[in-house]
């Protein structure tokens, strides 16, 4: 699998060498919480009735090779992306114009918008917003230019529940540990300098951003102790990923945190007359806390909103004075529709939101071609390509959804369109597939090693705290309070798989070995 970009790697191991490596991966992973709860398919519920078991998270055995220029490029543009998306999330009028055509045909987006409007009508009581973003990229090499350097192209920008920051820090430490115990033999990973295996700093950085938001909220006005809420799905297999950030927030910053399942919002929280969000833990009903920050690791999928009560619960949170990470406007800024509108050639929007020309140019360089599926001239051309069986193989069709498993790939697109009413086509965007160069690696998942061609997706976290909006009837301009890059994530999947989601069951967590 060696090519112009990547040398032959990793080495072929003898059975004894692989056994040594695997034993260390298994033990180190559990000893350091590089772990997930097992799926029922892997460990049947009757064998673990109390839910006590955990297993190693899917990981690559070796850190994958990654071009240093691409890594630097992606990290270098993180603060510009924070600026861009905080500006978009603060421009309600622009967002409305952009998601408007979705409101008629995408019930989930329409419901979110309705919740936002209800809060707007009443007036907001919190002008701070926290974004813990993750911009995802793949390496692109221009096939028409033999001297072209590799660069990164953006897959998507996440504004809600950007996950794997916890496990990312652990997997980069695992790979460094394996190198230090000579498990990598005479390979690129064993001979590279520390500088080629950069620490993934997402745990301390994400926790720091949350602590900054917590402090910016100010002291409790209700004379109650304060806390940060992690709003979570229940059950959650990827719980240790979240726990790493939670424990760092506790340990490094002394912030009290609680996990609140989405279904329990209305049971365990209440609003006081000033709309302060008060949380009463079910295990300690005589004690309440004022919630400073609501960190969403749930609430991004329509499946979670089973009834009106669930939408009422979301409204209840959105109305509150807690800082939302994210607010509904920030969540909507992360739709694939917004990404498509920004990526439209010659569009004025990027410049409008990012007046700094260098920043705008750096962001622009990361865009891959994305087309609308509406009746605009570009949309009609996209429809033509998407319906054509041979042209469609260059594309992925995406609805406005998060969390993996929602896209339609390549040759499946024409059939999907045939079975979907034309009036619903504009709920999707059509994106050209980025074709990153493959390399070889081994993925250890559910107790089994699979070795072969893999491709990597780099995520760079961004933390942004800003003030904006109308509070107590007064319109405020946007003021960015904190803006920093917050570490990286590498996810790696087998070449045969279209999806890369680790939680969705296709990929693995990885770290970079810069070349």
Q: Establish whether 33 is an annotated binding residue.
A: no
For this structure, is 357 an active site residue? no
Would the annotation count 401 as a binding residue? Answer: yes
Token code pair at residue 225: 């102790």
* 100 annotated ligand-binding residue: no
Determine which one of 37, 383, 398, 467 is catalytic. 398
Per CB under 5 A, the list member of 158, 201, 238, 330 interacting with Mg ion is 158
433 is in an annotated binding site: yes
- What is the C-alpha separation between 176 and 167, in angstroms, rounded? 14
Answer for which of 69, 216, 362, 433 binds ligand ADP (CB under 6 A) is 433
Residue 432, interface with Mg ion (CB under 5 A)?
no
- C-alpha count within 13 angstroms, C-beta hemisphere, residue 133: 33
Nearest distance from C-beta of residue 84 to ligand ADP, angstroms: 18
Q: What are phi and psi of 496, to 5 degrees?
A: -70, -15
| Consecutive H or E run containing 482 | strand 474-494
Indicate the SS3 state at residue 297: coil
Q: Does 368 bind ligand ADP (CB under 6 A)?
A: yes
Contact between residue 500 and residue 507 where contact means Cβ atoms under 8 Å apart? yes
505 binds ligand ADP (CB under 6 A): no
Residue 413 and residue 383: Cα distance in Å, rounded? 10
Structure letter (DSSP) for residue 150:
P
Question: How far, in Å, CA of 307 to CA of 311, rounded?
Answer: 7
Number of residues that bind ligand ADP (CB under 6 A): 19
Of 134, 205, 324, 440, the catalytic one is: 134
Catalytic residue status for 375: no
Residue 163 annotated as catalytic: yes
214 binds, among Mg ion, ligand ADP, none (CB under 5 to 8 A by kind): none
What proportions of the chain, in percent to the nearest 5, are helix, strand and coil?
Answer: 40, 25, 35
CA distance 87 to 360: 13
Residue among 64, 82, 163, 327 flagged as catalytic: 163
CB of residue 402 vs ligand ADP: minimum separation in angstroms? Answer: 4
Q: How far is the CB of 429 from ligand ADP (least distance, A)?
A: 9
| Residue 398 makes contact with ligand ADP by CB under 6 A | yes
List 33, 123, 379, 403, catalytic entry: 403
Q: Which stretch binds ligand ADP (CB under 6 A): 193-201, 210-218, 265-273, 430-438?
A: 430-438
* 8 Å CB contact between 136 and 156: yes
DSSP string, 280-294: --TT-TT--EEEEEE
Residue 510 is a binding residue for ligand ADP (CB under 6 A):
no
- Of the candidates 236, 305, 210, 226, the one whose C-alpha atom is nearest the C-alpha of residue 265 is 305
What whole-number distance in Å separates Cα of residue 459 and Cα of residue 436?
15
Q: What is the DSSP string of 50-103?
A: T----EEPPEESSPEEE-HHHHHHHHHTHHHHHHHHHHHHT-HHHHHHHHHHHH
Q: Does 369 bind ligand ADP (CB under 6 A)?
A: no
According to CB under 5 A, which residues from 396 to 425 bind Mg ion? 402
| The one among 407, 439, 468, 483 contacting ligand ADP by CB under 6 A | 407
Smallest distance, Å, CB 478 to Mg ion? 24
- Asked if residue 429 binds ligand ADP (CB under 6 A), the reply is no
Coil/strand/helix, residue 400: coil
Binding status of residue 428 toward ligand ADP by CB under 6 A? no
- What is the pairing mode between strands 370-372 and 323-325? unpaired
In the complex, the smallest distance separating the C-beta of residue 502 from ligand ADP, rounded to whole angstroms, is: 9
Q: Was 158 annotated as part of a binding site?
A: yes
Binding site for Mg ion (CB under 5 A): 156, 158, 402
Q: Which residues are catalytic?
A: 134, 156, 158, 163, 336, 398, 402-403, 491
Residues that bind ligand ADP (CB under 6 A): 136, 138, 155-156, 368, 396, 398, 402-404, 406-407, 431, 433-434, 457, 499-501
């Amino acid at each position: 699998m060696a090519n112009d970009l990547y040398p032959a790697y990793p080495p072929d191991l003898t059975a004894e060498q692989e056994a040594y490596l695997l034993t260390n991966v298994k033990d180190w992973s559990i000893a350091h919480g590089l772990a997930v709860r097992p799926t029922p398919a892997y460990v049947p519920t009757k064998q673990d009735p109390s839910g006590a078991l955990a297993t190693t998270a899917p990981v690559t055995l070796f850190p994958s090779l990654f071009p240093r220029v691409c890594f630097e490029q992606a990290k270098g543009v993180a603060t510009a992306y924070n600026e861009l998306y905080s500006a978009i999330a603060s421009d309600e009028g622009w967002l409305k114009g952009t998601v408007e055509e979705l409101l008629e045909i995408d019930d989930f987006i329409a419901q979110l918008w309705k919740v936002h409007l209800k809060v707007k009508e009443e007036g907001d009581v919190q002008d701070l917003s926290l974004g813990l973003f993750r911009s995802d990229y793949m390496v692109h090499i221009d096939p028409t230019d033999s001297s072209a350097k590799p660069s990164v192209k953006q897959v998507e920008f996440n504004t809600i529940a950007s996950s794997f920051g916890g496990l990312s820090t652990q997997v980069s430490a695992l790979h460094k540990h394996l190198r230090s115990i000579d498990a990598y033999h005479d390979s690129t990973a064993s001979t590279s300098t520390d500088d080629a295996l950069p620490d993934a700093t997402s745990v301390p950085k994400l926790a720091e951003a949350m602590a900054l938001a917590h402090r910016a909220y100010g002291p409790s006005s209700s004379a109650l102790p304060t806390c940060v809420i992690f709003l979570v799905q229940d059950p959650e297999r990827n719980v240790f990923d979240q726990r790493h950030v939670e424990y760092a927030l506790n340990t490094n910053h002394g912030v009290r945190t609680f996990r609140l399942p989405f279904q329990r919002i209305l049971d365990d929280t209440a609003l006081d007359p000033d709309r302060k969000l008060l949380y009463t833990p079910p295990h300690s009903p005589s004690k309440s806390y004022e919630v400073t920050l609501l960190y969403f690791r749930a609430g991004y999928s329509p499946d979670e909103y089973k009834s009106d009560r669930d939408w009422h619960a979301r409204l209840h949170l959105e109305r509150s004075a807690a800082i939302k990470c994210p607010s509904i406007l920030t969540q909507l800024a992360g739709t694939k529709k917004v990404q498509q509108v920004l990526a439209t050639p010659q569009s004025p929007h990027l410049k409008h939101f990012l007046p700094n020309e260098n920043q705008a140019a750096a962001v622009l360089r990361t865009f891959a071609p994305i087309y609308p599926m509406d009746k605009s001239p570009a949309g009609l051309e996209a429809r033509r390509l998407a319906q054509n069986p041979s042209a469609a193989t260059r594309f992925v069709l995406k609805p406005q959804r998060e969390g993996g498993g929602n896209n339609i790939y390549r040759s499946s697109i024409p059939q999907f369109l045939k079975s979907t009413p034309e009036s619903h086509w504009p709920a999707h965007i059509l994106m050209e597939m980025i074709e990153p160069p493959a390399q070889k690696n081994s993925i250890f998942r559910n107790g089994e090693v699979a070795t072969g061609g893999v491709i990597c997706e780099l995520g760079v976290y961004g933390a942004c705290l800003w003030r904006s909006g109308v509070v107590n009837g007064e319109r405020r301009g946007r003021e960015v309070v904190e803006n920093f890059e917050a570490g990286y994530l590498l996810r790696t999947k087998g070449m045969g798989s279209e999806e890369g989601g680790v939680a969705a069951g296709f990929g693995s967590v990885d770290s970079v070995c810069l070349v």
